Amino acid sequence: MKRRSFLKALFAVLGTASVSSFAYPLIRYLAPPGSSDMDKKVVLVKADIPVGGSKIILFNDKPVIVINRPGRGFIALSKVCTHLGCLVEYEKDKNRLICPCHAGTYDLEGNVLSGPPPRPLPKVTLKVEGEQLIIG
Amino acid sequence: MAKNKIRDWLEVRIGLDELLKSQLTEYRVPKQINVFNALGSVALAGYLIQVISGIFLMIYYIPHSEHAFRSVQEIMTRVPYGWLFRQIHVVGSNLMITAVTLHMVTIFLMGNYKRPRELTWIGGGIMMVITFLFGLSGYLLPWTQLSYWATTVVTSLPTAFPFFGDFATRLLRGGDYVSGITLTRFFAVHVSVLPPLFMILMGVHIALIRRIGLSSTPFGKTDEEKRPLTEFRKKTHPEGHAYYPYLFQKQVLMVICYFLIMFSIITFAPTFFFPEEASVPADAFKTPENIRPEWYFLAPYQMLKLIPNKFLGISLQIILLFVFIFWPFLDVQKEKNIFKRPVLRGVFIFLMISWVILMWWGRR
């Protein structure tokens, strides 16, 4: 190996090392920062949501709707439509959820009834403990 | 080789070979050039570091009095490597001012501001003032006790002038005292007024240097320029070195040293530029003890404290600033070599010593 090619290789290694030592922090810096309160449980009072009523909460920075379904108890569903991410609305009188963007409809279990959504709405864990609802 | 393909492609489009030749190898520098001639490129590198790290900080910084402090804290604690970019920006600002000052002092000592290079000096002088304005406007942005009260002190300076002084202070603050309005103003100046001005001046500065050609330093030999110069003549230094790689290497070496100092401070003295008041959120109803400006303003600050009449003190400083910027027109001696100019040398040493004494004094 000639001295010249050795030096070239050395410079290539050192240069790559110094560039990547800057590039790595840059990429990490620009990546979305993690939320500070991941999986933080939300506690609601049962009496606040009458039968047929609903309440919108934020869980993991995402909107979640808690519905007191007539005859079937509480459920917590993600409000984000699985089609293109609009927020679904609860239609009390029709017992369904409808997305205003492309008219996708879901039943109160989150299953798709009609329209473009490819998947059912994700459920969020909900436990009833005495007078309280624990979401998460 | 793909590299050659790219080269050929560019050669056809922009005449790359001729361009590189004329800008890198046919551009010649004097034989006795040294690392002090590379300080300008260190200042330029320092500025580019500020621009890049500043853009990264802007991604998370919120220029609002209720969020500024918290967003800076988040950059320092929660954003991955945010501490690194803020440290680079803070340490870099101090180092850039150091580099600019050293550049100015060495050019002064070499007498390179003399005809035909007066415009280059004036452009550089204005850039130095803008560099200080960068420091001044950026200082308020973290919205700490230190930045709030230092800004209060600085923005109250114009009140020393009759008639328009009070108005100028209100204009700077956007009100009767420093507030969220001031913060937004200073942010706007810091990120969108000063940079383009600085870039334009830098372009002119560098274009002038290339157009006129580098000056031969006077040390050890007489400058061959026949004065008075009554017609434009580019200095080409046929007996000198090619800019690339001769001076370019020196510039790279100096920039590496700059980085070395920067990362040494960040690694071994991370709190060097962060006094205690710099981690307390701004409180408009409580002035902290011993508030004082940054080190580079200490000497003028102490001078203001020493002169009993505020108007006199500030006027004197403005006159001194104009003397500094228009110095090439005031210095009519033909001799460049400072070793052959005892009076100028004496004045220079006196200025340096008094600056250092005032700076130490101002620390108290």
So what's the pLDDT on residue A37?
Answer: 63
Angle between helices B145-155 and B165-173 (to 10 degrees): 150
Span B254-279, mean pLDDT?
Answer: 94
Alpha-carbon B131 to chain mean position: 4
All residues of chain A having their beta carbon less than 8 Å from the beta carbon of residue B85 are 25, 29
Interchain pair B80, A28: CB under 8 A:
yes
So what's the pLDDT on residue B301?
Answer: 87
- The predicted model scores a pTM of 0.86
Interchain pair B79, A29: CB under 8 A:
yes
Task: Report the range of poorest mean pLDDT among A21-25, A31-35, A88-92, B31-35.
Answer: A31-35
- Of the pLDDT bands very low, low, confident and very high (cuts 50, 70, 90), residue A36 is low
So what's the pLDDT on residue A35?
Answer: 62
Rounded percentage of chain A residues whose pLDDT exceeds 70: 96
What are A's interface residues with B at a Cβ cutoff of 8 A? 25-26, 28-31, 33, 36
All residues of chain A having their beta carbon less than 8 Å from the beta carbon of residue B82 are 29
All residues of chain A having their beta carbon less than 8 Å from the beta carbon of residue B80 are 25, 28-29, 31, 33
Span B203-207, mean pLDDT?
Answer: 97
Span B177-199, mean pLDDT?
Answer: 96
Which residue(s) pair with A55 in the sheet? Answer: A66
Could you tell me the strand order of the sheet in which A89-91 lies? A89-91, A96-98, A105-106, A112-114
Greater confidence (A24 vs B305) lies with A24
Span B59-86, mean pLDDT?
Answer: 95
Is a pLDDT exceeding 70 seen at residue B90?
A: yes
CA-nearest residue to A35 within chain B is B78
| Residue B61: count of CB within 10 angstroms of its CB | 20
Is a pLDDT exceeding 90 seen at residue A40?
A: no
All residues of chain B having their beta carbon less than 8 Å from the beta carbon of residue A31 are 80
CA distances from B239 to A129, B221, B235 (A): 91, 14, 11
Is a pLDDT exceeding 90 seen at residue A5?
A: yes
Which residue(s) pair with A43 in the sheet? Answer: A134
